[in-house]
Chain A
Amino acid sequence: DTGVSQDPRHKITKRGQNVTFRCDPISEHNRLYWYRQTLGQGPEFLTYFQNEAQLEKSRLLSDRFSAERPKGSFSTLEIQRTEQGDSAMYLCASSFTPPTGSHQPQHFGDGTRLSIL
């Protein structure tokens, strides 16, 4: 068990460019979450996947954002036409939820820090 892995750790890009982040969850974790954390704040929920299905999206996730989890394994988060306000730490978390029963703890990766110039 190597934990949740995120790549890249840092991304610097110019406003208007597209960026894509990758998250590899803990193996056999069926749930994958994306959160955004700005400086001095707690993480805010963006979206989550149950296996390959994206089941909920926050209002924070504008139409410039898209997330995928093909085959229920790794996930990608893409931001198109980046804006200054997109500068943040993007965190991925995973957990395992059995078919019946309550959710198990979420384990976070170390995030991707995005800086928009």
Chain B
Amino acid sequence: QQQVKQSPQSLIVQKGGISIINCAYENTAFDYFPWYQQFPGKGPALLIAIRPDVSEKKEGRFTISFNKSAKQFSLHIMDSQPGDSATYFCAASIRGSNTGKLIFGQGTTLQVKP
């Protein structure tokens, strides 16, 4: 029940295209869903995050769509650029918990072809 399942494992998109990464969770107590971007040899960097009281959040070319009833959320990268090539992780946590620990998905390796 603590798992977050992420798909696809890898994704190849042409420059200018839309990249879509999906995540699903089981624990309905999760109430914070961040996305992290990780380049080789670097730590994860927070990209964008959403709480379940909204269905969509947009920051620049990055949009999170959230479906509470389906317990799914997704990251859309519009106008994908070669510089977006990285590994993306969805995560979930319970903000009101003592820990606030993040449960991560397995990651999606995105390659944007020029």
Contacts and interface: CB of A to CB of B under 8 A. Distances in A.
B32 A103 contact: yes
Contact of B106 (A41, A56, A108): A41
Nearest to A95: B100
Contacts of A44: 104
Chain A interface category by residue count: 20 to 34
B101 A48 contact: yes
B96 interface: yes
Contacts of A93: 43
Interface string A3-34: 01010000000000000000000000001010
A40 B101 contact: no
A109 B105 CA distance: 19
B89 A42 contact: yes
Contact of B44 (A56, A91, A95): A91
Chain B interface category by residue count: 20 to 34
Contacts of A43: 44, 89, 102, 104
Contacts of A95: 100
A110 interface: yes
A42 B105 CA distance: 6
B86 interface: no
B2 to A, nearest CB: 10
Contact of B100 (A42, A91, A97): A97
A44 B102 CA distance: 8
A45 interface: yes
A105 B99 contact: no
Contacts of A97: 100
B101 A41 contact: no
A104 to B, nearest CB: 9
A110 B105 contact: no
A108 B44 contact: yes
B94 to A, nearest CB: 9
B107 A110 contact: no
26 contacts: A4-B43, A31-B100, A33-B102, A40-B106, A41-B106, A42-B6, A42-B91, A42-B105, A42-B107, A43-B44, A43-B89, A43-B102, A43-B104, A48-B99, A48-B100, A55-B98, A55-B99, A56-B98, A56-B101, A91-B44, A95-B100, A103-B93, A105-B34, A108-B43, A110-B42, A111-B43
